[in-house]
Every structure is written in C-alpha cells, then in structure tokens.
Amino acid sequence: MSQKLLFIFGTARSGTTALCNLLNEDPRTCLGMERYSAISQTSRFTPELFEEQRFFDMQPGDTWYARLDHFAEHYAALKPKYRQAGFRGDKIPRLARRLDYLLRTFPSARLLITVRDIFDVAASYEVRADEGLAWPQNRRTMDAIQDWNLMLKNSLAHADESRIHWVMYEEFFTNRTGLEDLYAFLGMTPSPGIDAAFASMLIESRERARQKAGNPGSFGEAERALIKQHARFDLYDRLRIRVKKRAVRKSSSFTSRMHSLLPVTGA
C-alpha cells in the first residue's frame, strides 16, 4: 500500500467526528466513520483492511452498523478519491484503548488524538444517553470519566512519540494555528477546501459557545461532584504541558531550518 494510514481517536464526544469530517474535505484524505469500530478491538485490525476493495466491502463484524448506506453520503464522497488519496484511515474513538497495538501493528501510520475538557465530554455523554439514539442510556458521566482517564494515561505513556499529534479541542476549534500545526504534522499544507470548511467550522463553534453561555443546560451538581472526585486532572495538566513543549520544540526547529536556508552575507 503506497498510501499512508491515518487514525483519529480519543474520548468519545471530544471532536473526533468534527475532525474527521473536516479532513475529508481535503481531496488527499479518505477517513471512514467508525468503519472498523468492532474489528479494531481485535487482532484482525491490520493495514490490509484499508485496501480499496476491502474498505468498501462491508462484512459481518466490521463495525456497529450493517451497511455503508448508514453513512451513505460519507462513503459516496470517499469512493471517487480513495484510490489516489495520500491518507486513508478511520475515525474510531475506542482506539484510545489500543494505542500500544496501533503503534506496533501500523508502524508508519499517523495518529490524531483529540483531547477535550472533561466537563464538556461528560455533559455530552449525558445528552446522548438522554436521547437514547445509538447510545446506551446508562453510559453517562462515570463512563466519560473512565474513558477520559484512560485516554490521558495511554497518551502520557507515549508523550514523546513522533507519530502522534494531540488535538486540543478548545484551542483547535477556536483558531487557525492548530490546523496549521496538524497539517505540518501530516507533511502537507491545507487545501482550499479545508480552508473554507475550517472557516465555517470556526463560525459554528463560536455560535455554539455563545448559546452555551446563555444556556448552561441540565448538567447537575451530582455529575460535577463525580468529575471533581474521579477525573485525573493531574494527568490532563501533564499532557497539556507536554503538548505545549513539543509545539515549542517544533517551532524552534522550524525556525532554525529557515535560518540555515538564508544566504550568508559578508560583514
């Protein structure tokens, strides 16, 4: 396979879908929508699954939906560009549990891990549970905390891994710097389609923030108490510090390379 592999994951409700949809606006990127959610938790999750014929051939046990028609528009948009795409891959939040396996089985893959504030993650778990649509009604705040803690623990175990890029939700979806950093990690520059899609996403993100400020919702004190008691904010702070240090090192390295390319002038 000449194409590179790319995976998006992290705690559920932390922007993985939004990031997947954004990157799929790029003609060079083809990412499934939890295409292999089920099989990804087994030893049968291998690079061969991303060959074109197999990717568009839904088989029992692949994922939680039975037909690609479940996301008909999504896969219809991928098919014409899949063969020539520079990156193929999948968006599967549960891959945060299998980071060691991913790094071992997909040695040349690029991994994007989304990280979001636990209060917002848990609030989204509660909303989805109340809706009851493709989401267990008992999967709520405590599950969010456990998933979040595990993602942080696994991330810190590989904090110096060059094949991983962490997407900090609150920063990424509010300014363009995060997008440029992500594309630098992928070795590309944003396409015109990405620029337009990201600009639209920023507007939507700011509108959601405005609505949230005016309507805090029904997230209760009991849920907040659970978070304060059980969420590993120490790990969260450590990861944020490590990510910022990596960004500084990359920026310094880039600046040094640019200076080395400048012509030397005499005194």
In the chain, domain spans:
4-254
Give the closest residue to 7 by CA, choosing from 67, 83, 95: 95
Q: Which residues of 174-196 are buried (b: 16+ CB within 10 A; e: fewer)?
A: eeeebbebbbebbeeebeeebee
Instruction: State the pLDDT confidence band at 255, using cuts at 50, 70 and 90.
Output: very low
Neighbours of 42 (CB within 10 A): 12
- pTM assigned to the model: 0.90
State residue 214's pLDDT score: 59
What is the mean pLDDT of the segment spanning 226-249? 93
Write the class of the CATH domain 4-254.
alpha beta
Amino acid in the structure at residue 108: S
- pLDDT tens digits for 15-73? 999 999 999 999 999 999 999 999 999 999 999 999 999 999 999 999 999 999 999 99
Instruction: State the pLDDT confidence band at 209, using cuts at 50, 70 and 90.
Output: confident
- With contact defined as beta carbons under 8 Å apart, do 239 and 156 qualify? yes
Distances (CA, A) of 199 to 18, 142, 187: 13, 34, 21
State residue 218's pLDDT score: 60
For the packed helices 192-214 and 177-186, what is the interaxial angle rounded to 10 degrees?
Answer: 140
- With contact defined as beta carbons under 8 Å apart, do 40 and 94 qualify? yes
Mean of all residue pLDDT scores within the chain: 90
Give the closest residue to 10 by CA, choosing from 185, 154, 223: 154
Q: Which of 41-55, 87-101, 234-248 has the lowest mean pLDDT?
A: 234-248
Burial tier of 7 (Cβ tally within 10 Å: 0-12, 13-18, 19+): buried
Q: Is the pLDDT of residue 96 over 60?
A: yes
